[in-house]
């Protein structure tokens, strides 16, 4: 194996758990309280809208990775669709997507951690990002072990929430819009939640390290998206049923507050620990995916100073310069300290990248409408080789992008 080549060490279950782990920790444990302030009792609808829009874009990612199982992810897809210059420009947005999302989750990690130990949030933000960088440097297989364990812990913790909350389901009218809640605010909640789906972008960047990626990656994307949809909507219903949307919105560590109301401080402490695993593994996957992007861009570039990022070294033969740089940038944004603001900033880049991926697939399909060797996975419902679902994905991304701008303009308090 070339010293500049990533190891193929991941199977289907590894990448499936990476996909689930990269999304569940962000959406449920980090942003549910902020979204409750927008969606009210219909918080579940915000999660449903975000999940459906994400699944439409997930179909585009599934087809692209089936065609081009490359560590660059979207960078490679846009290069194939629009050319190297456009892809290189868009790689800036892709990189921001990863490290700003990592920063947002680090803020959430700090909010949970300080429920256990009285430490300044900024210290916790720096420490958790540094620790996840170390896991990345050790290598993707060892990162996968941590991610798999943390994902199982996360799912068990969510099962605990459902178990304690199920008796309260039905106590709140989940179709009632309280004062101040509207269709627009529900969709604004969906736009805020959407940043958890950066997991797609991180997942496809593992393609070069995955066995049989043309088949395993599309399956992992679609299975993880459906599983996460079910988890999100179920937890949203249970949480609102126990606390009500207003109290959920006011809580630091909202799911811990749900369990505390049912099981006291012991339950709250257990769920805080679970939340720390959930959020930390999402930081890990954000750093991992973005470092692979930087590695691939540098590998394809003629820019001399970028070539340093192609260096693979250490125990895990990983792109350590890229990991270190991405981690420093994540720390810088994490020190902003406001979760809603940082998540909304992250969403700007996510919506731009996801929109371009959908547009890229439309263009690629048009340019190759007479191809004779189709990939293992293609988005269905095609008219003249253009999928109706891909066009719908692009339109819904544009709509949520507008609502995300509203979330930023409305300020930190919302």
Range of the domain at 320: 12-369+376-409
Highest mean pLDDT among 217-221, 303-307, 323-327, 394-398: 394-398
Residue 155 lies in a domain: yes
pLDDT of residue 360: 96
Residue-wise pLDDT for 241-286, tens only, equals 998 888 888 877 788 888 888 888 888 888 888 888 888 888 887 8
- 307 has a pLDDT exceeding 80: no
Residue 322 lies in a domain: yes
Cβ 259 vs Cβ 270: under 8 Å: yes
Q: What is the mean pLDDT of residues 351-365?
A: 94
Distance CA 86, CA 399 (A): 23
Closest listed residue to residue 94, CA positions, set 111, 108, 77: 77
Residue 2 lies in a domain: no
> Residue 280's domain is classified under what CATH number?
1.20.1740.10
Cβ 34 vs Cβ 234: under 8 Å: no
Q: What is the mean pLDDT of residues 118-134?
A: 91
Distance CA 238, CA 52 (A): 20
Distance CA 54, CA 66 (A): 18
Q: How is residue 233 written in tokens?
A: 């909507």
Report the number of distinct structural domains present in the chain: 1
Instruction: Kindly tell me the burial class for residue 304, based on how many C-beta atoms sit within 10 Å of its own C-beta (0-12, 13-18, 19 or more).
Output: exposed
Instruction: Kindly tell me the burial class for residue 335, based on how many C-beta atoms sit within 10 Å of its own C-beta (0-12, 13-18, 19 or more).
Output: middle
pLDDT of residue 5: 57
More confident: 145 or 35: 35
- What single DSSP character describes residue 253? S
pLDDT of residue 317: 63
Q: How far apart are the first and last CA of the chain?
A: 52
- H or E segment and range at residue 270: helix 254-300
Residue 361 lies in a domain: yes
pLDDT of residue 56: 94
Cα 295 to Cα 16, 37, 290, 291: the distances in Å are: 23, 39, 9, 6
pLDDT of residue 332: 92
- 60 has a pLDDT exceeding 90: yes
- What single DSSP character describes residue 381? S
**Percent of the chain residues past pLDDT 90, beyond the cut:** 25
How sure is the predictor about 25, in pLDDT bands with cuts at 50, 70 and 90? low
Instruction: Kindly tell me the burial class for residue 165, based on how many C-beta atoms sit within 10 Å of its own C-beta (0-12, 13-18, 19 or more).
Output: buried
Q: What is the mean pLDDT of residues 303-309?
A: 69
- 2 has a pLDDT exceeding 50: no
Cβ 287 vs Cβ 278: under 8 Å: no
Q: How is residue 122 written in tokens?
A: 């900024």
Residue 128 lies in a domain: yes
Residue 307 lies in a domain: yes
Give the sign of the dihedral formed by CA 232, CA 233, CA 236, CA 238: negative
Residue 3 lies in a domain: no
Around Cβ 217, how many Cβ atoms within 10 Å? Answer: 28
Q: What is the mean pLDDT of residues 32-52?
A: 90
Residue-wise pLDDT for 80-103, tens only, equals 999 988 988 888 888 888 888 889
Residue 392 lies in a domain: yes
Highest mean pLDDT among 32-36, 76-80, 154-158, 320-324: 76-80
């Amino acid at each position: 194996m070339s010293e500049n080549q990533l190891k193929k060490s991941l199977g289907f279950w590894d990448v499936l758990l990476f996909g689930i782990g990269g999304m569940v920790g962000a959406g449920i444990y980090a942003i549910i309280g902020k979204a409750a302030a927008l969606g009210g009792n219909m918080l579940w609808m915000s999660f449903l809208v975000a999940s459906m829009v994400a699944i439409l874009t997930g179909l585009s990612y599934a087809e692209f990775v089936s065609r081009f199982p490359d560590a660059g992810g979207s960078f490679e897809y846009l290069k194939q669709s629009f050319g190297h210059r456009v892809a290189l420009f868009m790689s800036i947005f892709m990189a921001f997507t990863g490290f700003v999302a990592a920063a947002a989750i680090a803020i959430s990690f700090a909010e949970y951690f300080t429920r256990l130990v009285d430490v300044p949030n900024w210290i916790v933000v720096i420490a958790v990002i540094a620790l996840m960088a170390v896991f990345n440097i050790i290598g993707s297989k060892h990162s996968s072990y941590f991610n798999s364990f943390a994902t199982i812990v996360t799912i068990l913790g969510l099962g605990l929430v459902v178990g304690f909350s199920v008796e309260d389901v039905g106590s709140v009218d989940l179709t009632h819009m309280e004062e101040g809640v509207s269709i627009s605010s529900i969709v604004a909640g969906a736009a805020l939640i959407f940043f958890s789906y950066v997991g797609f972008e991180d997942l496809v960047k593992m393609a070069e390290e995955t066995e049989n990626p043309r088949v395993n990656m599309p399956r992992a994307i679609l299975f993880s998206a459906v599983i996460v949809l079910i988890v999100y909507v179920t937890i949203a219903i249970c949480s609102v049923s126990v606390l009500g949307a207003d109290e959920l919105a006011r809580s630091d560590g909202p799911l811990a507050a749900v369990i505390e109301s049912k099981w006291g401080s012991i339950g709250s402490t257990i769920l805080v620990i679970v939340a720390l695993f959930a959020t930390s593994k999402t930081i890990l996957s954000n750093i991992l995916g973005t470092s692979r992007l930087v590695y691939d861009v540098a590998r394809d570039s003629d820019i001399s100073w970028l070539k340093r990022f192609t260096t693979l070294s250490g125990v895990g033969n990983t792109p350590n310069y890229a990991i270190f740089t991405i981690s420093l940038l994540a720390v810088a944004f994490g020190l902003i300290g406001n979760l809603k603001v940082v998540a909304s900033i992250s969403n700007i880049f996510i919506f731009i990248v996801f929109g371009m991926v959908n547009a890229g697939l439309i263009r690629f399909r048009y340019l190759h409408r007479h191809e004779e060797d189709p990939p293992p996975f293609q988005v269905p419902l095609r008219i003249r080789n253009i999928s109706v679902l891909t066009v719908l994905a692009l339109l819904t991304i544009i709509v949520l992008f507008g609502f995300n701008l509203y979330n930023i303009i409305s300020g930190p308090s919302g």
